Amino acid sequence: MGYVFVDSSKVIYYFGPDLEPVAFADPGDVICFETLDCFSNQISSEDQLVTDIDFSRVNPATGPIYIRGAERGDTLAVKILDIETSDRGVIVTAPGYGVLGDKVRSPRTKICEIREDKFVYFVGKGAVHFVGLRLSYRPMIGVIGVAYDEKVPCGVPGKHGGNMDTKLITKGVTVYLPVFREGALLGVGDLHAVMGDGEVCVAGCEVSGKVLVTTSVFKEKFIPWPIVETDEAFYLIVSHEDINKALYEATDLAVKVLQHSLALDWDEAYMIASMIVDIQISQLVDPAKTVRARIPKDYVSLPKIFEAFRES
């Protein structure tokens, strides 16, 4: 097993067919991505406003990494081994930004301190401190994706992954991404120290940092959308400009998986989905909105999911 380090000077701003790798890795290698925050570290004080930054440098992803053996039609599994963030984060808002952007009168920036807390009895950062409040430190990855057939900005989520802003993508989970180009060309960025489902004001606690991952390749096992695996469930991640279409497709995929996994007819699968599947919101503020369908592992397995999509 090898080790590959990619520093934060090696960034991309889109996932597209013409990406060139900055490094190469074999499945099983440990890869360390050093990342900028979603503003490319352009904001360092509360006097700096998001309306004044260079938006051509927003949402960088470090990479891309060529994964040897990954080919179109495969699935790339990315295991998140660890996430380390900076000690300070930034959160912003501005008129027109976020779910309630019509209510925002002027742009504003707040700096969050991220530090150990005397009430937390373990080594490492314990809390995000915001306007006198102590928020739980829950580092996560906003952008994780692979090269796509079309040029898609890193700030936009899609079938290739990208800016899914799904708070479940954290230490210990595995992210499955469909492979569209040889080598997959994996990029990672846009870390948050903490973020709520929806990311309603357009930002979480935006931080720079480092991400450790390892990868594996499932040959000829193609999935139509990214999947996140936790200890308890599989999450089907779907994004669309129209959130109702995202909700429809995520539900349709979940029913399809249950129908195949449990050998049910379609109506039976639809009924059990209504009893065991949770349809959740990841983010509401990117150009494409992201939702997820949670299926407990009691009812499905990864091989059955691959089979269900192969037969569709």
3-218, what's its fold? Jelly Rolls (2.60.120)
pLDDT digits (tens, 9 = 90+) for 98-147: 999 999 999 999 999 998 765 544 446 789 999 999 999 999 999 999 99
- Closest Cα partner for 175 from 220, 164, 185? 164
As a whole number of Å, the CA-based R_g of the chain is: 19
Measuring CA to CA, how many Å separate 195 from each of 60, 104, 167, 225, 274? 18, 20, 7, 22, 28
Strand (E) or helix (H) holding 275? helix 266-276
pLDDT, greater one: 92 or 1: 92
**Phi, psi angles (nearest 5°) of residue 110:** -130, 140
pLDDT digits (tens, 9 = 90+) for 168-212: 999 999 999 999 999 999 999 999 999 999 999 999 999 999 999
Measuring CA to CA, how many Å separate 97 from each of 105, 122, 259? 11, 37, 40
* DSSP state string for 175-221: EEEE--STTEEEEEEEEES---TB-TTS--SEE-EEEEEEEEEETT-
Tokens of 101: 């952007």
pLDDT digits (tens, 9 = 90+) for 261-309: 999 999 999 999 999 999 999 999 999 999 999 999 999 999 999 999 9
Domains 3-218 and 227-311 share a fold: no
Q: Give the residue extent of every domain in the chain.
A: 3-218, 227-311
Q: What's the mean pLDDT when you consider all of the chain?
A: 96
CATH number belonging to domain 227-311: 3.10.28.20
